[in-house]
A = this chain, B = another copy of it.
Amino acid sequence: MKELEFVRRIAHKFKVKKPVIHGIGDDCAVLQYTKEKYMLLTCDMIIEGTHFTKKTSPYRIGWKAMAVNISDIASMGGVAKYALVSAGVPRGKGVKFLKEIVNGADAISKKFGVKIIGGDTNASDKTVLNVTLLGEVEKKYLATRSGAKIGDLIFVTGTLGDGETRHLDFLPRIKEARALVTNFKISSMIDLSDGLAMDLNRVAEASNVGARIYRSLIPLAENAPPPRKIPPRMTQIDEFFSRGEDFELLFTASPRESKKIIEQIGEKNNLPVTMIGEVVKKRSGVKLVEENGRVKPLKPVGFKQL
């Protein structure tokens, strides 16, 4: 079953009230914190065989586990502050391996002002790492998945399709997210961890809208690998759009704000962003417009499936 469906069921089961502002169903949980700020709380687990291989260096494993969590904080418009790291490490690997994991997590933490304040180490058959990250965001800058409005434009940062080649040492888009939320009114935001198809559907579902994106507008990474053998029940269209781990930001803004954003686009402004489509009525669904004008449904088929 797709994670989207499972999360929907779980979200219903665990409906939350204040002081929990947002519970299950966004990149971070949002809690009351200070008068001006919300607390952001997120956790992501990475597992040998799913998110990295037996051959991945422990330094990169530590880096990636921290990076994916910082990316979740970025997608809510926040700043990352404190981290807890839980590790399961094969008995035979020894302390050096664990130390290298910590070094990797520490290196990226330092880059983004994160302090590692706790942890848990365990023996495990395969390597597994969980990072919990506590962040904060000014109430006025909070971005969620659920604010997209009909008529909004849809943007992504950076280029897509080559997550496979850089997911182990990517830099989460915190700087760009902060530039966006502090300079513009962003109506919704998510990080692209599980592929454009899945994550765009998440925004549409949470915002109760539809979406239409254009293949000709999608900023393809130069070194994006060619389409792979298509898994069963996937069409060619799915394969590209279900490529996960780009860790770019997908966000929406009103036409008025979009105009301002487009005027300032450019690396110089920390705004390496591209407009890829528009928000439409829910009953129009989530669709891709091909270069020949044909419109195809974009199903929530993604990188992360059970």
Residues of A at under 8 Å CB distance from B?
Answer: 1, 3, 6-7, 9-10, 13-14, 16, 20, 23-24, 28-29, 31, 41-51, 82, 84, 86-89, 91, 94-95, 98-99, 102, 106, 115-126, 128, 130, 132, 134, 304-306
Contact = CB atoms under 8 A, between A and B. Distances in A.
Contact of A117 (B24, B130, B132): B24
Looking at chain A's contact residues, is the secondary structure mostly helix, strand, loop, or mixed? strand
A27 to B, nearest CB: 9
Contacts of A31: 82, 117, 134
B125 A125 contact: yes
Contacts of A99: 9
A122 B24 contact: no
Contact of A123 (B9, B24, B86, B306): B306
A6 B95 contact: yes
Contacts of A87: 45
B82 A20 contact: yes
B50 A118 contact: no
A45 B130 contact: yes
A258 B126 CA distance: 46
Contacts of A46: 122
Contact of A50 (B20, B49, B123): B123
A22 B5 CA distance: 39
A306 B125 contact: no
CB-based closest 9 A-B pairs: A130-B130, A45-B86, A29-B117, A132-B132, A29-B118, A43-B84, A23-B117, A47-B124, A47-B88
Given A6-B98, A23-B118, A41-B82, 13 more contacts: A3-B121, A13-B106, A14-B106, A14-B116, A41-B132, A44-B86, A45-B88, A47-B88, A48-B125, A84-B132, A121-B304, A124-B128, A128-B128
A118 B120 CA distance: 20
A126 B126 contact: yes
Contacts of A82: 20, 29, 31, 41
A199 to B, nearest CB: 15
B124 A86 contact: no
A128 B132 CA distance: 15
Contacts of A88: 45, 47, 50, 128
Contacts of A6: 95, 98, 121
A128 B130 CA distance: 10
A95 B128 contact: no
17 contacts: A6-B95, A7-B121, A20-B117, A23-B116, A23-B117, A29-B84, A29-B117, A31-B134, A42-B84, A43-B118, A43-B132, A45-B86, A45-B88, A47-B128, A51-B122, A89-B306, A123-B306
Nearest to A91: B306
A95 B4 CA distance: 12
A306 B50 contact: no
